[in-house]
Structure 1
Amino acid sequence: MADQSGQKTAMQTSEPVGSAELNEWKRGFTPQAEIWNGRLAMIGLSAGMAVVLVSRVFNAG
């Protein structure tokens, strides 16, 4: 909806983002950067848990 001056309000300026745009590598505080931060954090967490698991399995002797 528009207010009395014909301007769109902040709630209605958001538009759906395509999957190609979400996967772009953009710098700054953007939704794309947050997605990449989450992906890289999950890779790091998985790698750390894998190292702990492998070290406990092989050192359980």
Structure 2
Amino acid sequence: METRSSSNVPPVATEYNGVDRNAFLFGWTPQAEIWNGRLAAIGFLAYLLWDLAGYSVLRDVLHLMSY
């Protein structure tokens, strides 16, 4: 059984371009895609909770258009 020493672990988890994968970078970078996915998940969860609370975005939009 092979074991690795803890000294071989990099101090920062890197992505394809060798930069911290949690860095907030603009442009077409792997980090931007990770943040895009995280923010999309937060938005989806917010909508799901909003809908479970008894509100409907579609109903609210149609109601606002009826004025």
TM-score for both structures, normalised by structure 1: 0.59
- Equivalent pairs counted in the alignment come to 40
Could you tell me which runs of 5 or more consecutive residues in structure 2 were left unpaired when the two chains were aligned: 1-11, 56-67
How well do the aligned residues superpose, as a CA RMSD in angstroms? Answer: 2.1
In proportion to residue count, which structure has more helix?
1
Q: Deviations over 1:14-60 (max 9, x none)?
A: xxx8158010000000000000000000000000010000116xxxx
Identity of aligned residues (%): 47
TM-score for both structures, normalised by structure 2: 0.54
Q: Which runs of at least 4 in structure 1 moved beyond 3 Å after TM superposition?
A: none
Could you tell me which runs of 5 or more consecutive residues in structure 1 were left unpaired when the two chains were aligned: 1-16, 57-61
